């Protein structure tokens, strides 16, 4: 959503880095570039003016002039102002002292109100509430049926006494739903109201009548984040006609420029409370202004990534996986389980985008295809249990069978096995205390290893047969992985490869998707595959 804005701001900040002092001309030029970036992102003009004026004023103040790094101080100012524009802080729902809490959803047709009702209902259920969805949109064709389907998927009961499609009184449905919730002990009532293609008096009057009938504790304005400049006028019309206490942004996974999110909170004074980032019911969460500002500025969103990992990974599962890695018992069966768990967290590209600094490689992230991960899962599932436990038994005929069963080539099967082997080797070396950096830990120094590799400085045996065996070992050792043995802390550091380069080459760990969750250093399937 904010890729264009992020790219423009990154160019602005890049031009500031390395300067020991910012002149008034530098500040004016920076303010102009930020102004252009915001206007190109469809941010409302009044918001742009106040935003740029605040940055210019603060950048000329003492906090920048006395700073050791003025460029970083300007970035800090822009981040704080972005947080202020987005609402200043996280806002939560207000629940009624006496249940049920009534939440009214309002907005234009096509903004995703009905789907959002299911997402919000599911989210409330995970928070320990018992929500009830109310089908009060009786105008749009199949709106009632759609809410029933969404409610069933979310595991939330739907109150729908009328068939809809132009039949029924939405005000009476909302009033009856409130009475039903009291009888059946539902503590939250979510009322899905009708929308229109544009703001009109009939829609406003109907929404106001429903509001007066149920006296909602919260009125949430559902806004399509992709509609650009029109978001401000639409939000203002609803604020004047019905009023609302919070905003929910939908379709944040779209490719629009995102100005609605940066405009509506400042113009209406109502906070953004929730955000929908995809079509799945799970793609919904509380809106955090500081995290969104951090992502816009390319600083990542590690807290959200951690929260998603905590939801996907069970503590006992993570501890058991870590123990297997430490004991060198990590198998393809464990790897498959880990892949499926990571898959639950969402698209890999989105997860990587939450890591700090990933804004620098947007093009590479765009090439990360979740279908690569699906192929890895298919390959492993085409193996027998014995083959998953011991990949060494996979000879040519078995690999051909696995390739046919998973719809890939034998080369791709070999690539997966090679990556998995390198990952297990890395785990053994880390568990043995070798460390990630060659030369750090027990073993010979870097100079000694370099000399040994060239065949210089090695101790020669006085026995001619032993000396010949040593020469043969040196010749064959060029293509042989480092051996594990006693006396080396679990890993022979002589000839130990650069693991950082291995991780990058084979798509393991930090070079691609490492850090996505517990034990992610052994995830060889996260990056774009080689040789395709």
pLDDT at 151: 95
Lowest mean pLDDT among 216-230, 309-323, 510-524: 510-524
* Annotated binding-site residue? 192: yes
Q: Is the pLDDT score of 152 beyond 90?
A: yes
* Annotated binding-site residue? 224: no
Q: Is the pLDDT score of 234 beyond 50?
A: yes
* Annotated binding-site residue? 450: no
CB 91 within 8 A of CB 85: no
Q: Is the pLDDT score of 114 beyond 80?
A: yes
Both tokens assigned to 100: 């049920």
* Annotated binding-site residue? 492: no
Lowest mean pLDDT among 204-208, 312-316, 331-335, 450-454: 450-454
* Annotated binding-site residue? 253: yes
Both tokens assigned to 453: 């590799």
pLDDT at 130: 95
Lowest mean pLDDT among 93-102, 261-270, 333-342: 333-342
* Annotated binding-site residue? 488: no
Of residues 438 and 45, more confidence is placed in 45
Q: Which whole number is the average pLDDT over 201-213?
A: 87
Task: Please give the backbone phi and psi of residue 177, each rounded to the nearest 5 degrees, phi first.
Answer: -65, -35
Q: Which whole number is the average pLDDT over 199-203?
A: 78
DSSP codes joined into one string, 83-149: HHHTTSS---PPPPSSSPEEEEEE--TTS-HHHHHHHHHHHHHHTT--EEEEE---SSTTHHHHHHH
Closest CA to 88 of 301, 298, 304, 271: 271
pLDDT at 69: 72
Q: Which whole number is the average pLDDT over 358-384?
A: 72
* Annotated binding-site residue? 107: yes
Bridge partners, residue 221, by sequence: 106, 247
Q: Is the pLDDT score of 39 beyond 70?
A: yes
* Annotated binding-site residue? 28: no
**Mean pLDDT highest for which of 258-262, 360-364, 459-463?**
258-262
* Annotated binding-site residue? 84: no
Enter the pTM of the model.
0.60
pLDDT at 18: 67
Confidence class of residue 472 from pLDDT cuts 50, 70 and 90? low
CB 523 within 8 A of CB 514: yes
Q: Is the pLDDT score of 240 beyond 90?
A: no
Domains of the chain as residue ranges with CATH: 3-85 (1.20.120.140), 101-299 (3.40.50.300), 313-454+480-522 (1.10.260.30)
* Annotated binding-site residue? 277: no
pLDDT in tens, 243-262: 899 999 888 776 556 676 67
Q: Is the pLDDT score of 111 beyond 80?
A: yes
Of residues 62 and 103, more confidence is placed in 103
Both tokens assigned to 329: 């018992």
Q: Is the pLDDT score of 428 beyond 60?
A: yes
Confidence class of residue 47 from pLDDT cuts 50, 70 and 90? confident
* Annotated binding-site residue? 453: no
* Annotated binding-site residue? 109: yes
* Annotated binding-site residue? 113: yes
Of residues 459 and 100, more confidence is placed in 100
* Annotated binding-site residue? 259: no
Percent of the chain past pLDDT 90, that is, above it, reads 23
């Amino acid at each position: 959503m904010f890729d264009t804005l992020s790219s423009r701001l990154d160019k602005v900040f890049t031009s500031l880095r390395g300067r020991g002092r910012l002149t008034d001309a530098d500040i004016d030029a920076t303010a102009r570039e930020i102004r252009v970036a915001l206007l190109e992102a469809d941010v409302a003009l009044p918001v742009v003016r106040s935003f740029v004026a605040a940055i210019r004023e603060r950048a000329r103040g003492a906090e920048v002039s006395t700073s050791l790094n003025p460029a970083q101080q300007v970035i800090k100012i822009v981040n704080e102002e972005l947080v202020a524009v987005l609402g200043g802080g996280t806002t939560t729902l207000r629940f009624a002292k006496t249940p049920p809490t009534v939440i009214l959803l309002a907005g234009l047709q096509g903004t995703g109100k009905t789907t959002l009702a299911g997402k919000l209902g599911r989210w409330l259920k995970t928070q320990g509430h018992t929500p009830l969805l109310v089908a009060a949109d009786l105008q749009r064709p199949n709106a009632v049926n759609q809410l029933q389907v969404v409610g069933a998927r979310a595991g939330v009961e739907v109150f729908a006494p009328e068939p809809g499609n132009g039949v029924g009184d939405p005000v009476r449905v909302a009033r009856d739903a409130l009475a039903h919730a009291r009888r059946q002990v539902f503590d939250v009532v979510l009322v899905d109201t009708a929308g229109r293609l544009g703001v009109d008096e009939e829609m406003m009057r109907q929404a106001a009548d429903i509001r007066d009938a149920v006296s909602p504790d919260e009125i949430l304005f559902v806004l399509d984040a992709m509609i650009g400049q029109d978001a401000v006028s639409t939000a203002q019309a609803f604020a004047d006609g019905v009023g609302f206490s919070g905003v929910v942004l939908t379709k944040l996974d779209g490719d629009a420029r995102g100005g609605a999110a940066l405009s509506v909170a400042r113009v209406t004074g109502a906070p953004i409370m929730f955000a929908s980032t995809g079509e799945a019911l799970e793609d919904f969460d509380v809106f955090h202004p500081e995290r969104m500002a951090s992502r816009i500025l390319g600083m990542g969103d590690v807290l959200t990534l951690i929260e998603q990992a905590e939801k996907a990974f069970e503590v006992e599962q993570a501890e058991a996986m870590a123990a297997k890695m430490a004991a060198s018992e990590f198998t393809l069966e464990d790897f498959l389980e880990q892949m499926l768990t990571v898959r639950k967290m969402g698209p890999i590209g989105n997860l990587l985008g939450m890591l700090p600094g990933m804004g620098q490689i947007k093009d590479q992230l765009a090439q990360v295809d979740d279908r690569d991960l699906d192929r890895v899962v298919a390959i492993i599932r085409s193996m027998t249990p014995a083959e998953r436990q011991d990949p060494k038994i996979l000879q040519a005929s078995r690999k051909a069978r696995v390739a046919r069963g998973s719809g890939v080539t034998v080369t791709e099967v070999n690539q997966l096995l090679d990556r998995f082997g390198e990952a297990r080797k890395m785990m053994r070396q880390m568990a043995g205390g070798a460390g990630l950096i060659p030369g750090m830990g027990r073993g010979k120094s870097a100079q000694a290893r370099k000399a040994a590799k060239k065949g210089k400085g090695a101790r020669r045996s006085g026995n001619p047969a032993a000396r010949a065996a040593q020469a043969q070992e040196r010749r064959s050792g060029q293509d042989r992985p480092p051996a594990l043995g006693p006396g080396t802390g679990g890993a022979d550091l002589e000839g130990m490869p650069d693991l950082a380069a291995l991780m990058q080459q084979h798509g393991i760990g930090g070079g691609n998707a490492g850090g996505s969750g517990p034990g992610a250093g052994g995830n060889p399937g996260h990056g774009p595959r080689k040789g395709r």
